[in-house]
A and B are shown apart, each in its own frame.
Chain A
Amino acid sequence: MKIVATLVEDLYAVHYGGEHHDELTRLLEQWWDTSYLFNFYTENRSIIEGNRFLSCEDGEAFVHLVTDNTNALEDFLLDKTTNLSHFFRPLGIHDDGVSVLRKTKGKQHCLRLYALWVEAECYIITGGAIKITAAMQDHPETAAELRKLERCRSYLKSENVMDDDSFYEFLNEQSHE
């Protein structure tokens, strides 16, 4: 597991061992890939079409929805029209504190980027998903994202990343490896 810089200042992403890309790049590549969207729609058709929030009557509408929102996310990443702290919000009611490595979510309609908060405008993306169920635990992909958040937090804590200074020191050490 590595932490890499992204195109946005102070936004980092986890690069898991065995993956070709860091999480931000991997997710964008996934949402750009119509083959992936077709398979996702086929496997989750009843959930997608039954979700009133998504308002997708068929597969083409689903592709349109994901594509549109990926475009909006791309614009945000390129232009960073709002602060990261406005984009990433606490994941749940239990994550509303100001503790280091708090779990957060960045929302663009049904698209999610999950991240750990480090300091005011500093976040680490641990993963993301197309969210089609109300609770993350209700779908295997979002449930896996919860585990990734926890795994990354444990990893960073095990590296003594408990406060701002130790976080940067950890990255400093990592860059020498």
Chain B
Amino acid sequence: MSNKEKFQKLVKPGNAQALKEKLQWRKENREWLNHSAKVAFRIQLRLKEMKWSQRQLAEAMSVTPQYINTLLKGQENLSTSTYLKLEKVLGISFLIGAPNQIFPSVKTDIIKECIVVDMYKYDYKESAHFAFGNTMNEPPIKYHNQWKQQTEA
């Protein structure tokens, strides 16, 4: 038996199996994990703008600081109600997946209608279609601007 063979019989896998299972799990859940990472980044950016701590966010959302910690790591599969709560507390919208990814000027009311419902499942055209009907062929920002002009007129 060679030294290598002896070695391979003796070496314990350590956490290799656990890491393998974690990687497989991440691969199966990649779609929402990628999305959650972007959302988590935007939340942290907003917290910095507002000069808020994670604890303040936890208190405002009536959740535990541990939950916020996981959320900000981008490893939480957010529910629709959590998105709505975050939008309300932070005063931002979460429209991700469209060409510019962020629509800071879009009214939250519109976003609530079209995007927050399992938004990561849709691309922007599908999301916009959901909100604006069959004629939707362009990014929702154009429709928002039309709506804004009508409102201001």
Contacts and interface: CB of A to CB of B under 8 A. Distances in A.
A168 interface: yes
Contact of B7 (A4, A22, A64, A171): A171
A158 interface: no
A5 interface: yes
Interface in A128-159: none
B102 interface: yes
B142 interface: no
B11 A171 contact: yes
Contacts of A108: none
A173 to B, nearest CB: 10
B38 A60 contact: yes
A33 B20 CA distance: 18
Contact of A63 (B7, B16, B38, B69): B38
Task: For chain A, give the interface size range.
Answer: 35 or more
Nearest to A59: B41
A7 B19 contact: yes
Contact of B24 (A33, A78, A164, A165): A78
Closest 5 CB pairs of A and B: A34-B74, A168-B3, A34-B40, A4-B14, A7-B20
Interface of B: 3-4, 6-7, 10-17, 19-20, 23-24, 26-27, 30, 33-34, 36-38, 40-42, 44-45, 48, 69, 72-75, 101-102
